[in-house]
């Protein structure tokens, strides 16, 4: 029995949630700081709400995903009615999506679902469902203003969810025989989280009057300018760590502009650029002030946008190529042992303020891949072992000839 439990993990009776003890500590480092009264209040809220039929009922309802085009053209009105319509849509939609994710946590193997850090994330979703479900119907702009305050609070409460998931699953790693079994759960949880954050951020941004923007949708996005912004960010990190950074040349359709949502690119681009710069510097440690350039090529057409990032960082070894897009595998583990680096690059990456764990957690590339696929595109790596790596990021246009993705 114990052997089976530690091997693949047992689910609760009937495949549902495991039987939880009255109180398990939250994420590591936070438990010792939780006042007893707050701990009791949290325990009471979670255990009393955990089996509430409302979650099960909401989880049975389908999610209603919107196209960015719908969001774009319904994001304006002369009388401000679009604000109330958007809020009412979120009030109906967010509890359904959160309930779907709670079901995902309930169906995790027992040994993973009871990990304190994973349980803490599970608890965050339950609390979010409770707060959103308890909010009264939105009738007036005053109601909507209060709803916006709730959305901001929830966005703040959940800002570290990706880090916590990475940490919790890393703690459970020795109990997981096949990490590929967790890929569907992680893909769905991370992309659903991205979708909910995009919808909430879009609604909040509808209150702003920002040139060339409707909510979070930029009507004239310049991929070149966005790439340049994240190149500067990655180069500063690289120079701080290695004393130098590769130059980045951008070519292709550099004058292209089109409607798009920059938010997902703000997650993916810095990750891909940091990987390229780190690989370049670590493959030229003996000549850190004479390193080859990184080349970024933009290809724009009437169906999608393609961004190719080419480095001369030595490539990815044959036996590792299939693993770099799997969760919880990171090439940082080897580089962190090199005494010439003066400390792992991971420390800088995690302290940089960049959203989500990237280098060092083994979440960067697989999360970028999941986001690209969620946006109707793909992330493909082509490695020339001994030379370098080309990464192809393909994203579907929101107003192109092909059907757009849905959020």
For 358, half-sphere exposure in the C-beta direction (CA atoms, 13 angstrom radius) is: 24
Report angle CA 283, 289, 293 to the nearest 5 degrees: 65
**Burial profile 150-188: b = 16 or more Cβ within 10 angstroms, e = fewer:** bbeebeeebebbbbbbbbbbbebeebbeebeebeebbbe
Answer whether 162's CB lies under 8 Å from 357's CB. Answer: yes
- Residues with Cβ within 8 Å of residue 322, at least 6 apart in sequence: none
Using CA of residue 322, residue 181, residue 103, residue 41, what is the dihedral sign? Answer: negative
pLDDT of residue 46: 52
- Output the pLDDT for position 16: 42
Q: Could you tell me the CA-to-CA distances from 312 to 279, 284, 331, 368, 383 in Å, in that order?
A: 8, 10, 16, 21, 10
What pTM does this model have? 0.82
Cα dihedral sign for 16, 22, 26, 28? negative
**CA–CA dist 164, 157 (Å, integer):** 12
| Radius of gyration in angstroms for the set of CA atoms belonging to the chain, rounded to a whole number | 22
Which residues, in sequence order, are CB contacts of 70 under 8 Å at separation 6+? none
Q: Which residues of 253-281 are buried (b: 16+ CB within 10 A; e: fewer)?
A: ebeebbbbbbbbbebbbbbbbbbbbbbbb
Q: Using CA atoms, how far apart are residues 399 and 261, in angstroms rounded to an integer?
A: 12
Q: What pLDDT is stored for residue 177 in this prediction?
A: 78
pLDDT value of residue 371: 96
Report the alpha-carbon distance of residue 5 to residue 83 in Å, rounded: 50
> What local confidence, expressed as pLDDT, does residue 107 receive?
94
**How many Cα neighbours within 13 Å face the side chain of 11?**
11
d(CA 272, CA 325): 12
What b/e readout covers 361-371, taking b as 16+ CB neighbours within 10 angstroms? Answer: bbbbbbbbbbb
**What residues of the chain score a pLDDT lower than 50?**
1-36, 38-41, 44-45, 47-48, 329-360
C-alpha distances in Å from residue 347, one per residue of 164, 202, 243, 341: 16, 32, 16, 12
Asked whether the beta carbons of 213 and 205 are under 8 A apart, the reply is yes
- Under 8 Å between Cβ of 276 and 331: no
Among residues 113, 197, 182, 119, the alpha carbon closest in space to that of 374 is found at 197
Residue 199: per-residue pLDDT: 97
Q: What is the DSSP letter of 66?
A: P
Neighbours of 15 (CB within 10 A): 8
- Bridge partners (DSSP) of residue 213 are 218
């Amino acid at each position: 029995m114990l052997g089976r439990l530690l091997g693949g993990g047992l689910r609760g009776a009937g495949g549902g949630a495991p039987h939880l003890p009255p109180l398990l500590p939250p994420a590591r480092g936070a438990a010792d700081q939780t006042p007893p009264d707050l701990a009791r209040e949290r325990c009471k809220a979670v255990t009393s709400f955990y089996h509430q039929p409302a979650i099960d009922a909401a989880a049975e309802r389908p999610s209603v995903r919107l196209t960015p085009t719908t969001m774009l053209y319904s994001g304006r009105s002369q009388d401000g009615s679009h604000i109330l319509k958007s809020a009412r849509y979120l009030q109906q939609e967010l509890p359904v999506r959160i309930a779907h994710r709670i079901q995902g946590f309930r169906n995790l193997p027992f040994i993973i679902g009871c990990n304190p850090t994973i349980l803490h994330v599970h608890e965050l979703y339950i609390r979010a469902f409770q707060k959103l479900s308890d909010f009264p119907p939105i009738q007036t702009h005053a109601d909507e203003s209060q709803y916006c305050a709730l959305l901001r609070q929830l966005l703040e409460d959940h800002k570290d969810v990706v880090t916590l998931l990475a940490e919790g699953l890393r703690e459970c790693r020795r109990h997981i025989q096949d990490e590929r079994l967790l890929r569907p759960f992680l893909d769905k949880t991370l992309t659903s989280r991205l979708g909910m954050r995009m919808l909430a951020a879009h609604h909040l941004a509808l209150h702003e009057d920002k040139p060339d923007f409707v909510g979070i949708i930029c009507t004239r996005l310049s991929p070149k300018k966005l790439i340049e912004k994240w190149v500067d960010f990655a180069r500063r990190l690289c120079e701080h760590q290695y004393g130098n950074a590769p130059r980045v040349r951008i070519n292709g359709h550099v004058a292209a502009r089109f409607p798009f949502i920059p938010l997902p690119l703000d997650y993916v681009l810095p990750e891909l650029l940091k990987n390229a710069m780190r690989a370049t510097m670590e493959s030229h440690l003996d000549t850190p002030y004479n390193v080859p350039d990184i080349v970024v090529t933009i290809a724009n057409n009437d169906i999608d946008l393609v961004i190719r990032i080419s480095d001369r960082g030595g490539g990815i070894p044959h036996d590792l190529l299939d693993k770099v897009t799997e969760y919880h595998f990171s090439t940082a583990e080897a580089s962190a042992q090199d005494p010439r680096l003066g400390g792992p690059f991971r420390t800088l990456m995690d302290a940089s303020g960049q959203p989500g764990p990237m280098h060092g957690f083994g979440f960067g590339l697989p999360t970028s891949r999941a986001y690209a696929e969620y946006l109707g595109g793909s992330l493909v790596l082509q490695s020339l072992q001994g030379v370098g790596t080309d990464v192809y990021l393909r994203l579907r246009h929101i107003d192109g000839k092909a059907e757009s993705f849905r959020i």
